[in-house]
Structure 1
Amino acid sequence: MKGERREDIDWSQSRVIFVSPSFNNYQKESINFKGLHFELWDVKKFSNNTVFFNNIKQSKTVIDEIVVYNNKIMGDIHLQKRGLKLWLNTKFGAIDDSKGIAKDMSKTGHWGNGDYEIQISDDEELEYIFSLIKQVYKIKN
């Protein structure tokens, strides 16, 4: 590799991930440079053993977060312009979704962990959604 230049390497096949409790503005802006393929992940650990993984994306309107509690992934959150998607990390059929608001993703490729996908566009069903999250919490602990 001696004498290799940046142009000599196929960077499209490379993936570099930086993980840190925080990044400064210069580091966050660097993901917008063309030709540099890397990811920045903010990681925050709280006193109750909850860990948030926040993927800082080029588009400032899209952030992915993974919610971990006691070293177990509880779910994933994907923020969108007009709401968010929530994936609950459990097998489909393991929780009681009596209102049927969660979509079965068990046989479909998707971004998040788990078989339940919930599209949230307003606060109408938040209490009910929290009850589903509590069910996942009880399964995981």
Structure 2
Amino acid sequence: MRQAGCTLVLIALVLGLTSAPGFAERNLVPTLDRSFDVCPDRPAEPVWMQQIPLRQVYHRVLVQDIYRAQNLEQVVEIGNCDCATRFPSWDAAEAVFRESYANNERWKLLQASDAYNRRANAARPEAQAICDAAGNW
């Protein structure tokens, strides 16, 4: 008898979950437009990064990692998290990439990406505290 009660509860639960109105799904319409709640006017990635061939996507990832590390470290260094500090232009990250990594082999770029991720992750807690206080996280 107890097993029958558990079965009925499971059936009710499954029916309740699968027959729930689809109102939540309507809010999950995919879009190619990027919109941000924090610093909505942040600069777009450079066009060359958006158009990079799939076989070279690790170049794009490295520039993104450099950008993230630089920005979080800058927030911590100056103790300010205005939008221009948190999301500056991509020029500095591109310059580092072009000067130090653009002609390197894939494995060197992956190593560099890992190093920049470590730097960003080290700066993140302090940067987040600064940005939380400024309302920009």
What is the TM-score of this pair, normalised by structure 2?
A: 0.29
Indicate the structure (1 or 2) with the bigger Cα radius of gyration: 2
Which one has a larger percent strand, Structure 1 or Structure 2?
Answer: 1
What is the TM-score of this pair, normalised by structure 1?
A: 0.28
